[in-house]
């Protein structure tokens, strides 16, 4: 495993080794000695169809989460927004393609909103989280907010009703 730092404090790309042979592959996804995060008590896995767009999701207050995101099948455009007031990269967007082929994962520190777009017919995305999900403290910023100026790879997006109702970045800042 190899750590690649980004210009965003604490936001890391993790390049994993994929050992392939005639039977399939073996990929080391997480190693506490390399990621140096002691506590991921909550894990989950999502499946998303092609052109699905999820996010920008985050937890508020005591339920804020650091996330470690990996793709086991398919390919996604992973996108985060820095919502840490006082950060040099506050309100800035970072995007990276994660896929089963490139074996990249993304470590996202607390204070970021997280979204992703699904390129493939089936995409399986695995999360490790530093805190439990609390629906009362769930929040987000609308991925289609024009102020974010994000050009998503498709105009034919599958977005949940819940995500369409998320607040704008301006509303979040208030």
Catalytic residues: 57, 127
Other Cβ atoms within 10 Å of 117 Cβ, number: 26
Four-residue CA torsion sign, 124, 128, 132, 133: negative
- Sorted by sequence, the CB contacts under 8 Å of residue 157 that are 6+ apart come out as 51, 52, 53, 117, 144
Distances (CA, A) of 99 to 16, 52, 73, 102, 161: 11, 15, 7, 5, 26
C-beta separation of 113 from 55 below 8 A:
yes
SS3 33: helix
In whole angstroms, give the CA distance from residue 161 to residue 53: 11
């Amino acid at each position: 495993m190899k750590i690649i730092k980004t210009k965003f404090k604490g936001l890391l790309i993790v390049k994993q080794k994929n050992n392939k042979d005639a039977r399939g592959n073996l990929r080391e996804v997480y190693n506490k000695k390399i990621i140096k995060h002691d506590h991921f008590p909550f894990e989950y896995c999502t499946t998303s169809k092609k052109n699905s767009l999820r996010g920008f999701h985050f937890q508020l207050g005591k339920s804020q989460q650091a996330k470690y995101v990996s793709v086991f099948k398919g390919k996604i455009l992973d996108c985060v927004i820095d919502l840490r007031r006082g950060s040099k990269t506050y309100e800035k967007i970072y995007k990276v393609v994660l896929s089963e082929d490139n074996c990249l994962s993304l470590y996202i520190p607390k204070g970021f909103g997280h979204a992703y777009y699904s390129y493939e017919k089936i995409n399986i995305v695995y999360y490790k989280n530093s805190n439990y999900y609390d629906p009362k403290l769930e929040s987000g910023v609308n991925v289609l907010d024009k102020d974010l100026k994000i050009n998503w790879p498709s105009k034919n997006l599958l977005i949940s009703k819940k995500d369409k109702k998320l607040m704008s970045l301006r509303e979040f800042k208030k």
